[in-house]
Amino acid sequence: MLDLKPDFGSFFKDETFTGDFTFANSPQSVRRFPFPFDRDDYMYSVNIEPHVSTRPGSVFEHAFDIDEHYVSEMRDRARVLARDPLRCQSLPHMELAGWDLLELLMESLARDYPQWFTLTRSGNDWHWVNKPLGIDQRFTFLDASSLPYGPMEYITRQVQGDFTLQDERDQNLWVDAGMVTTQADWSLDFDIGMNFFEWHAPVPLAHEKGIFERALKFLLRLQHGAPVRRFNWTMTVNPLLDTAPETYPEWGAMRTTVTPQNVGEKLHLRVELQSLFRLPRSNAIAFSIRAYLGRFDDLVTVPKWGRRLHRVVRDVHPDLAAYKGFLRNRDAMTDWLSHHDDGAPTSPGIWPD
């Protein structure tokens, strides 16, 4: 077992994503929120760009963003896994890709956050220290018996965001492993072993636009050392990280609790910063799906975001609103947001003015 001895220090917040929902973004965290809309309307596109370090302090500064919610998110992941171990699965041929992912994550975190993580290596003898979670582990790289879990599960219990590992064969990608506990209503247990077209089958409108053929073609050419990223988004009532089909009975009904009075407090824009990395040894592709929750009350403190969010929610195609789970609350959301839109033009790009 991975025995967490969390140290929140002065930076990490002690908060919950279920029950009493004490999750909240600090003012600094609101300012760095990855607002996903670069214009006043939204439709699918293959919005992929190189995943390079930009804007110090932003979520784009490091390959994997560690923020004030880190320790509490890892505690929430452990809670979800204890109830449902099938949220983490790896088919037998994916262990090497798991080691690739472990190496990528440990190297990145130790390089980008030396105050919290250290990695010391002598050949295949590795020593990993994770101070915020109180972990000090010596192990043998490529020897799964030297870790308390398989390599993918071991490291993804220590990194924010969901991860899937795609095997490449027959000119397609196959989702053959993953750690999925902070998902927007999709199930790893259902999708595991599917290919790129199969697991994207439920997405409306995009198939007709040929988006998945183009995206797959692009991803099959993804090169090591040149990761890419894109945004996805949806809406979540209450700050729930775990909105899985498996727990739908627990959270689905929360969508009916929205009233004109509590929209600002209950509604959260859920943004996924998705990044894709070609892995070196396995030739697999790692997909990182990092979810950020932004309370409407907080988002409208940035005037540009308030105006734009209103226009996007008001005008988005109803099929997309239904797929993203907010069709039933769209009118209440639009009405509430309209009070934060004075009709002024907005500047291009996603950043606050």
Partner 1 sequence: MNAKLQVRVTEVEALNPLIKRFRFVPRDGGLLPAFSGGAHVVVEMEDHGTRRMNPYSLSSDPEDRTGYEVTVRRDDAGRGGSLYMHNHVAVGTEMVISHPVNLFPLDGRAKKHLFLAGGIGITPFKAMIHQLGHIGAKWELHYASRNPGLCAYGDLLRGPVQFYYDDDKSFIPLKDLLARQPLGTHVYCCGPKGMLAWVRATAAELGLAEHAVHFEEFTAPQPGAPFDVDLVRSGRRIHVPAHQSLLEAMEAAGVDAPYLCRGGACGQCECDVVTLDGQIDHRDHWLAPTDHKTKIMPCVSRFAGRALAIDR
Residue 171's closest CA among 120, 113, 216?
Answer: 216
Query: Is 122 a binder of partner 1 (CB under 8 A)?
Result: no
- Assess whether 77 carries a catalytic annotation: no
Pairing of strands 285-295, 162-169: antiparallel
Query: Is 275 a binder of partner 1 (CB under 8 A)?
Result: no
Chain centroid to Cα 201, Å, comes to: 20
Which one of 4-12, 29-37, 276-284, 305-313 is the stretch in contact with partner 1 (CB under 8 A)?
A: 276-284
Structure tokens at 278: 């070609």
Which one of 59-67, 95-103, 110-118, 290-298 is the stretch in contact with partner 1 (CB under 8 A)?
A: 95-103
Which one of 2-10, 35-43, 275-283, 331-339 is the stretch in contact with partner 1 (CB under 8 A)?
A: 275-283
At CA 285, angle to CA 35 and CA 211, rounded to 5? 60
Closest approach of partner 1 to the CB of residue 220, in Å: 9
List the one residue from 67, 76, 153, 168 that touches partner 1 (CB under 8 A): 168
DSSP state of 276: E
Quote the CA–CA distance of 347 and 16 in Å, as a whole number: 35
Cβ closest to partner 1, residue 93 vs residue 255:
93
Which one of 245-253, 261-269, 277-285, 330-338 is the stretch in contact with partner 1 (CB under 8 A)?
A: 277-285
Query: Is 3 a binder of partner 1 (CB under 8 A)?
Result: no
φ and ψ at residue 2, rounded to 5 degrees: -90, 110
List the one residue from 31, 62, 93, 200 that touches partner 1 (CB under 8 A): 93
Query: Is 223 a binder of partner 1 (CB under 8 A)?
Result: yes
* Burial profile 194-220: b = 16 or more Cβ within 10 angstroms, e = fewer: ebbeebbeeeeebeeeebbeebbeebe
At CA 273, angle to CA 269 and CA 274, rounded to 5? 135
Residue 92: how many other CB atoms lie within 10 Å: 7
Query: Is 208 a binder of partner 1 (CB under 8 A)?
Result: no
The SS3 of residue 114 is coil
Query: Is 165 a binder of partner 1 (CB under 8 A)?
Result: no
Cβ closest to partner 1, residue 152 vs residue 241:
152
Residue 51's closest CA among 65, 38, 37?
Answer: 65
Cβ closest to partner 1, residue 168 vs residue 341:
168
Query: Is 169 a binder of partner 1 (CB under 8 A)?
Result: yes
Closest approach of partner 1 to the CB of residue 139, in Å: 16
Quote the CA–CA distance of 50 and 148 in Å, as a whole number: 34
The SS3 of residue 177 is strand
Catalytic residue among 75, 79, 121, 230: 230
Cβ closest to partner 1, residue 258 vs residue 286:
286
Q: Can you give the binding site for partner 1, defined by CB under 8 A?
A: 93-96, 100, 103, 142, 167-170, 217, 221, 223-226, 280-283
**Active-site amino acid positions:** 230
